[in-house]
C-alpha cells in the first residue's frame, strides 16, 4: 500500500491518517494500523509510545496539510473574492468528508485536549486567514460593507463543513456544490446598477 522507500514511521503515520479519516479514533486499532502500514507491533512501539502518540502525529500531519492547501489558494493572486472562490472550489474528496472536520465528531478526540489541539489550531488559523482575506475585500470595496470579515470567515467554514455533512448524508456531491454556489452568490461583488 505504501512506498518501499517510505520509512516505517512514515508508513505508520500515513496508515493512521487514512484509518482515522475512514473509521475515527476508536475504530483505528493498533492492529489495523500495523496491517495497513505493513509494520509489526515492535516497529510501531519502537517509533511511537502508543496509539495516542501515533494518532497525534497523524492528526498533526493532516492538520498541517489542510492548512498548507488552504494557504496556497488564499495567498494566491487575484482579488479577495477570487481567492475565496478558489478556496471554496478547490479539489476535495467531498463524499469522504473533511479529514480534520470529521475528527471534531469523534468523542475520543474531542475529549482529549492533546489530540484536539491540532484540530483547534488549524481551524483557528484557517478562520483567521479567511478573516484577513475577507477584510481585504471589505477594505477595497469589493465585498459589501454591510458584512463583517469575521462573520464571513465563520460562514465560509460552516458552509464547507456543513456541505461535507450534507454530501455524506445523501451520498451525493450536489449538496456540497450547492452550498458553495450559495455562499459565492451571497459574497459576489455587486455591479453598480445603471
For residue 167, being part of any structural domain is answered with yes
The Cα 191–Cα 194 span in angstroms is 9
Where in the sequence is the domain holding 142, given as residue range(s)? 56-187
Distances (CA, A) of 138 to 83, 145, 158, 160, 188: 14, 6, 20, 21, 12
For residue 8, being part of any structural domain is answered with no
For residue 34, being part of any structural domain is answered with no
The Cα 179–Cα 47 span in angstroms is 42
For residue 160, being part of any structural domain is answered with yes
192 pLDDT more than 70 = no
The Cα 119–Cα 100 span in angstroms is 6
For residue 45, being part of any structural domain is answered with no
In the chain, the number of structural domains is 1
For residue 30, being part of any structural domain is answered with no
Name the residue with higher pLDDT: 49 or 85. 85
104 pLDDT more than 50 = yes
47 pLDDT more than 80 = yes
Confidence of residue 193 (pLDDT cuts 50, 70, 90): very low
The CATH number given to whatever domain includes residue 180 is 1.10.357.10
pLDDT of residue 4: 58
pLDDT of residue 46: 87
Mean residue pLDDT of the chain comes to 92
For residue 181, being part of any structural domain is answered with yes
- The pTM of the full predicted model, rounded to 2 decimals, is 0.89
For residue 19, being part of any structural domain is answered with no
Confidence of residue 6 (pLDDT cuts 50, 70, 90): confident
Confidence of residue 186 (pLDDT cuts 50, 70, 90): very high
**Percent of the chain topping pLDDT 70:** 95
The Cα 153–Cα 6 span in angstroms is 37
pLDDT of residue 194: 45
Amino acid at each position: 500500500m505504501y512506498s518501499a522507500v517510505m520509512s516505517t514511521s512514515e508508513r505508520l503515520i500515513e496508515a493512521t491518517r487514512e484509518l482515522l479519516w475512514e473509521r475515527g479514533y476508536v475504530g483505528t486499532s493498533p492492529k489495523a494500523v500495523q496491517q495497513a502500514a505493513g509494520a509489526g507491533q515492535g516497529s510501531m512501539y519502537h517509533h511511537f509510545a502508543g496509539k495516542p502518540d501515533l494518532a497525534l502525529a497523524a492528526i498533526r500531519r493532516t492538520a498541517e496539510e489542510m492548512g498548507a492547501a488552504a494557504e496556497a489558494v488564499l495567498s494566491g493572486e487575484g482579488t479577495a473574492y477570487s481567492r475565496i472562490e478558489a478556496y471554496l472550489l478547490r479539489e476535495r474528496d467531498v463524499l469522504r468528508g473533511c479529514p480534520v472536520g470529521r475528527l471534531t465528531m469523534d468523542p475520543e478526540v474531542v475529549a482529549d485536549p492533546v489530540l484536539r489541539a491540532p484540530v483547534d489550531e488549524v481551524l483557528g488559523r484557517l478562520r483567521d486567514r479567511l478573516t484577513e482575506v475577507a477584510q481585504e475585500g471589505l477594505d477595497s470595496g469589493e465585498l459589501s460593507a454591510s458584512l463583517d470579515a469575521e462573520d464571513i470567515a465563520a460562514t465560509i467554514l460552516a458552509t464547507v463543513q456543513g456541505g461535507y455533512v450534507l454530501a455524506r448524508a445523501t451520498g451525493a456531491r450536489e449538496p456540497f456544490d450547492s452550498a458553495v454556489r450559495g455562499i459565492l452568490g451571497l459574497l459576489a461583488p455587486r455591479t453598480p446598477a445603471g
